Structure 1
Amino acid sequence: MKHNSFTILFLLFLSVFCVAQDSLKTVVAEPGDGILSLLRKHGVNPYDVYDEFVTLNNHDLRDSVHLIAGKIYVIPHVKLDTVAIVDSLQQQAKEIKKLESVAYDIFGDKHKNVISKSERLKGNIYYLVSGHGGPDPGAMGVYAGKAIAEDEYAYDITLRLAKELMAHGAKVYIIIQDENDGIRDDFVLEIDHDEVAYPDKTIPLNQVARLKQRVEIVNNLYKSNKGKYQRLIVTHVDSRSEGQNIDVFFYHHEHSKNGKKLAESIHKTFEAKYKKYQPNRSYAGTFEDRTSLYLVKKTHPAMTFIEIGNIRNAKDQVRIVDPDNRQALAKWISEGILLDFEEK
């Protein structure tokens, strides 16, 4: 049934394209343009057409999400001045597309629809833990004169990663949750303290109690899903001296063969992305065992612990605060996770 709906959608698209291909608008990206800003600049709601834009322009996007200045891009869903039958075909296509997507409120109104990309991770279970939260904002920095907190950015990247994995059929448990935030496209993310631990537990102020709570939640879920393919990804943002620029690091348990492979697969993906998109800059991020970290030591699923960057360093802040960069990070991590599973 699913195969047939995709076939119908493809045929409908061909019909619309043949009748109204001249209606597709092309624009040239200027320096500083991002996908969201480019679409807004040309009068298109980016949240309605983001996925279509990426699909149409995939070959001209750097690291799958960034525009390249001077390149020509196609703007999807330009209003067509055509006969009524074309409008009817478009409506049918939209209805079929809805069958292939599911809405999740945790991602927020603008990003709640998860459109199926594949079933490559069907049956797999992933536990995603973003660092700190609740009474503890984690590492702090200052960007554009405003305070920024680790937990807000780790959470946003985690949500984006969850959405990517779910689009490939995975079942995802988001262990730290904030029902009010969702995926946000701001540079400065407002700091709050209302996050809870899955499903709705108050997060303790005491650090040890907070970590024990997360370990208990993950290990109980792991036990209830015994026999299934399960992995854990923990996301943090580091805090070091302002002058220290670092790359993304991956840690694993020293005795976990599968955890090491997961960290290595994501690390390998990042190395390849840097080589392709930043050929003049070497990638210094590593993957290594760090069993001294509480969640690495105590949790049962094979896992990797990711440090995204230094929240106090100006260069690293660009990686963290730019929503397009957060999307790229989530996509690269998801590609590493796919690599890990499919090379098992």
Structure 2
Amino acid sequence: MKSVSFFFFSILFCVMVWSQKDHYTVVAEQGDGIFSLLRKQGLDPVEHYVEFVELNKDDLRKGSQLQLGMSYKVPYSLDSFKKTGVRVDMVDGTETSLFEKELSKMSLKSNRLKNAVYYLLIENHVQENSGFLQQMTKKLAADLMVQGAQIYVLDMMNSITAQEDTVDIGTDKLGQCVDAVNKRYLKHNKKYQRVLLLRLKNAVDDSKMNLAFSHYQNSGDGQRFADNLQGVFKKHGINKRGEETEGSSIFEDKSTLFLAKNLLPTVTLLTLDNNSESINGEQLHIRVDNKRFAQLLGNGILKDYADLEIED
């Protein structure tokens, strides 16, 4: 009898916990309608409209109108932009949404990348004008999210510095990045997953910068990803510098090799630098514009994914 009672209360407890977790509440603000409120929470209003109305049917005026200052239940959803675009703290593993105010202007354009996960690693070696890399990464993340992708951004500014030029110095810090990415890789183990390491080697000014793509020499997937990205920049008339090669170069520095050997998903490196002599292999020359830069990267990522689908 005791075992039956225990089983019953266990089921009841699980139901209560689940019911508490299926939604959260927000307060309707001036000008809010159901569509705008859902968008501000990162949700597709078309997909979640009926569920929202059902959750809040007793608090809606005329069946569909929100009341100013009233609290409304918003369904938790894994497809919320608050969930599909997050910044990961490499120390404690916590996730925070990449976007807040911008959510009201974001809407799903397609599901082309619904089975794709991208890890954008920011490695910034300078403090001046560091906003360029942050802004460009957020723009790229948004462009991929509205195509259905899951995006994780890991800021390595405090983990790798220009002075840490040997693997011994940075192993522990790099290990935090590896742990954070690999845990999420296992969570999404049936999906297409790629790591793009964005490395800024010196300060950004208003002129042009040199960029180069590279991959791990033992990774065919990494080479294809790098070559697809590089190909899009070439196709759009980005000037070339240095000796032209058949494709992207290979990793040479110790920190990137460490990541390539320990991360589960494929890694590709994009290096940005004002000094053309510090980049090996073929270089492209691009004017500094984070919106245009993010657009070209996004196009390359879409091309790489489309090529994979064709092969499959």
* Aligned match of 1:118: 110
| Closer/same/farther in 2, CA of residues 109 and 283 from structure 1, 3 Å limit | farther
Amino acid at match of 1:175: L
Structure 1 match to 2:251? 290
**Aligned-partner Cα distance in 2 for 1:114–1:331:** 16
TM-superposed CA distance for 1:254, in Å, is: 0.8
TM-score (structure 1 length as normaliser): 0.50
Tell me, yes or no, if structure 1 residue 158 matches structure 2 residue 104.
no
1:168 to 128, 147, 157: 147
SS of match in other structure, 1:300: coil
- The Cα of 1:116 is off from its aligned counterpart by 1.4
Is 2:279 the partner of 1:335?
no
Q: Distance in 2 between matches of 1:161 and 1:329?
A: 8
The C-alpha deviation readout for 1:61-111, integer Å capped at 9, x for no partner, is xxxxxxxxxxxxxxxxxxxxxxxxxxxxxx999799872696545235246
1:108–1:95 Cα change, 3 Å: closer
TM-score by length of 2: 0.54
Unpaired runs of 5+ in structure 2?
Answer: 1-32, 48-79, 83-96, 160-168, 278-283
Deviation of 1:318 (Å): 8.7
> Quick check: 1:120–1:169 contact (8 Å CA) kept in 2?
yes
Q: Which residue of 2 aligns with 1:148?
A: 129
Residue identity over aligned pairs, in percent, reads 22
**Deviation at residue 121 of structure 1 after TM alignment:** 0.6
Contact persistence 2:119–2:196 (CA under 8 A): yes
Alignment match, 2:215: 252
In 2 relative to 1, CA 319–109 (structure 1 residues): closer, same or farther, beyond 3 Å?
Answer: farther
Q: Is the 8 A contact 1:161 1:334 kept in 2?
A: yes
Task: For 1:263 and 1:229, locate their aligned partners in 2 and report how far apart those are by CA, in whole Å.
Answer: 16
Q: Which has the larger radius of gyration?
A: 2
Tell me if 1:303 matches 2:295: no
**What is the CA–CA distance in structure 1 between the aligned matches of 2:98 and 2:121, rounded to whole Å?**
15
Deviations 1:295-343 (A, max 9, x none): 2333221121111332899xx99944xxxx1011111111101000101
Task: Sort the Cα spacing of 1:153 and 1:296 in 2 relative to 1 into closer, same or farther, 3 A.
Answer: farther
> C-alpha distance in 1, partners of 2:100/2:37?
21
The whole-number CA distance in structure 2 between the counterparts of 1:93 and 1:220 is: 35
C-alpha distance in 2 between matches for 1:153 and 1:223: 31
- Partner in structure 2 of residue 230 of structure 1: 193
Equivalences for 1:161-240 in 2 at 5 Å?
A: 161-176=140-155, 207-239=170-202
**Deviation of the 1:251 alpha carbon:** 1.3
CA distance in 2, matches of 1:297, 1:210: 15
SS in 2 for 1:274: coil
CA distance in 1, matches of 2:38, 2:178: 41
- Counterpart secondary structure, 1:107: coil
Answering whether residue 250 of structure 2 is matched by residue 271 of structure 1, we say: no
Q: Deviations over 1:1-39 (max 9, x none)?
A: xxxxxxxxxxxxxxxxxxxxxxxxxxxxxxxxxxxxxxx
Structure 1 residues 5-24: aligned runs within 5 Å: none
* Secondary structure of residue in 2 paired with 1:139: coil
Residue number in structure 2 paired with 1:130: 122
Aligned partners of 2:286 and 2:231: how far apart in 1?
22
Q: Which residue does the alignment assign to 2:16? A: none
1:141-172 Cα offsets, whole Å, 9 max, x none, are xxxxxx333xx432222211111110100111
| Deviations 1:268-287, CA, capped at 9 Å, x for gaps | 00001126xxxxx4466862
Point out 4+ residue stretches in structure 1 off by more than 3 angstroms: 91-98, 100-105, 110-113, 281-286, 316-320
Whether the 8 Å CA contact 1:118–1:169 is kept in 2: the answer is yes
